[in-house]
Amino acid sequence: MKVKTLRFGEVEVPDGMVFCLTGGLIGFPLLKRFVILEHKPGSQFRWLQSVDDPDFAFVVIDPLLLAPDYPLDRLRDAVADGHQGSSEVVVAAITTVPPEPEPITVNLMAPVAFNAVSRVGAQIVLHDGHYSARHVLARTGSASSPTT
Amino acid sequence: MLVLSRKQGQSIVIGNDIVVTIREVHGRTVRVSIETPAGMPVYREEIHKEIVLENRRAALGAASVDARLSETDAVLGAGRPPKEGP
């Protein structure tokens, strides 16, 4: 299928690769269908591009890069559809890239999770207070490395 | 808007399948339980606002990000192979 996007023009995506958030993104209830697009070869970032509105694309990153103990089991359970209890989960954390000098931050509190088989999922809020909605990823140009 | 009073242990039914029960009143804090149909999320309002705000900031910020992402990739990618999957 062809997907119209503001950022990437018209992109061709295999029909089965559309991910669905049943309730939409929190605060954006009409944004239900997405495709995941590469950013650049070798990049850790990807794009969660809305199929419903070409104007909306979100930078995402694998939260496990930032939080190795991220609660994947909980997210897997949250998107399990009963018949696919053991199916894998696709998780993406939305990344905010504000103008300089504000830091790039990652929303670890409310990741987007999809059932890898049905590709249906939700933006799930982790209520326990361990994860920030603005986890500072890196201050560009600073000497500190987040990978240690 | 409907405003009503309830005692501890009493409930409010919304529609056919949402039940809000007052569990405990303790000083200025009220403890409530909320039963909802499977898949219907329930949020604390301040958390919901925070996530809505953050989603909006992310949507706005995504307009011009290439240079900043490349710089960050250079930091993140040190010693890491390109990753498969999102």
Report the run of H or E that residue A98 belongs to, with start and end.
Answer: none
Mean pLDDT, residues A60-86: 85
Please indicate, yes or no, if residue B67 is contained in any of the structural domains: yes
Please indicate, yes or no, if residue B84 is contained in any of the structural domains: no
Please indicate, yes or no, if residue B71 is contained in any of the structural domains: yes
Return the residue matching tokens 């929303």: A107
Looking at this protein, which amino acid is placed at residue A80?
A
Mean pLDDT, residues A91-98: 94
The domain in which residue B29 lies consists of: 9-40
Residues B30 and B48 both lie in one domain: no
What CA–CA distance (Å, rounded) separates B32 from B11? 9
Please indicate, yes or no, if residue B80 is contained in any of the structural domains: no
Please indicate, yes or no, if residue B85 is contained in any of the structural domains: no
Of chain A, the percentage scoring pLDDT greater than 90 comes to 59
* pLDDT for A35 beyond 90: yes
What CA–CA distance (Å, rounded) separates A88 from A81? 11
Question: Which residues lie closer than 8 Å to B28 by C-beta, 6 or more apart?
Answer: none
Tens digit of pLDDT for each residue in B5-36? 999 999 999 999 999 999 999 999 999 999 99
Nearest CA in chain A to B75: A145
Which pLDDT score, from 0 to 100, does residue A144 have? Answer: 44
pTM of model > 0.90: no
What CA–CA distance (Å, rounded) separates A49 from A4? 10
* pLDDT for A67 beyond 90: yes
On average, the pLDDT of chain A sits at: 87
**Residue B5 distance to chain A (closest CA, Å):** 28
Tens digit of pLDDT for each residue in B24-79? 999 999 999 999 998 788 999 999 999 999 999 998 876 667 767 877 888 887 65
8 Å CB contact of A140 and B51: no
What CA–CA distance (Å, rounded) separates B21 from B85? 43
Please indicate, yes or no, if residue B35 is contained in any of the structural domains: yes
Which pLDDT score, from 0 to 100, does residue B77 have? Answer: 73
Exposure of B47 in the CB half-sphere (CA atoms within 13 A): 16
Q: What tokens appear for B47 in the block?
A: 């958390």
SS3 content of chain A, % helix, strand, coil (to 5): 10, 35, 55
Which pLDDT score, from 0 to 100, does residue B51 have? Answer: 96
Please indicate, yes or no, if residue B82 is contained in any of the structural domains: no
With an 8 Å Cβ cutoff, is B41 touching chain A?
yes
Using CB atoms, which residue from A27, A100, A145 is nearest to B75? A145
Using CB atoms, which residue from B43, B59, B77 is nearest to A44? B77
Residues of chain A contacting residue B59, judged by C-beta atoms under 8 Å apart: 28, 56, 58
8 Å CB contact of B79 and A147: yes
With an 8 Å Cβ cutoff, is A46 touching chain B?
yes
With an 8 Å Cβ cutoff, is B2 touching chain A?
no
All structural domains of chain A, each given as residue ranges with its CATH number in brackets, are 2-137 (2.30.290.10)
Residues B47 and B71 both lie in one domain: yes
Residues B52 and B29 both lie in one domain: no
Which pLDDT score, from 0 to 100, does residue A86 have? Answer: 58
ipTM of the predicted structure? 0.84
What CA–CA distance (Å, rounded) separates A109 from A89? 17
Question: Which residues lie closer than 8 Å to B74 by C-beta, 6 or more apart?
Answer: none
**Residue A55 distance to chain B (closest CA, Å):** 9
Using CB atoms, which residue from A104, A110, A122 is nearest to B51? A110
With an 8 Å Cβ cutoff, is A127 touching chain B?
yes
Long-range contacts of residues A45-49, Cβ cutoff 8 Å, at least 24 apart: A45/A95, A45/B69, A45/B72, A45/B73, A46/A92, A46/B86, A47/A7, A47/A8, A47/B62, A48/A92, A48/A94, A48/A112, A49/A3, A49/A5, A49/A7, A49/A8, A49/A11
Residues B15 and B35 both lie in one domain: yes
Number of domains comprising chain B: 2
* pLDDT for A136 beyond 70: yes
Residues B49 and B36 both lie in one domain: no
Please indicate, yes or no, if residue B34 is contained in any of the structural domains: yes
User: Residue A2, Cα to own-chain centre: how many angstroms?
Assistant: 21
Residues of chain B contacting residue A22, judged by C-beta atoms under 8 Å apart: 39
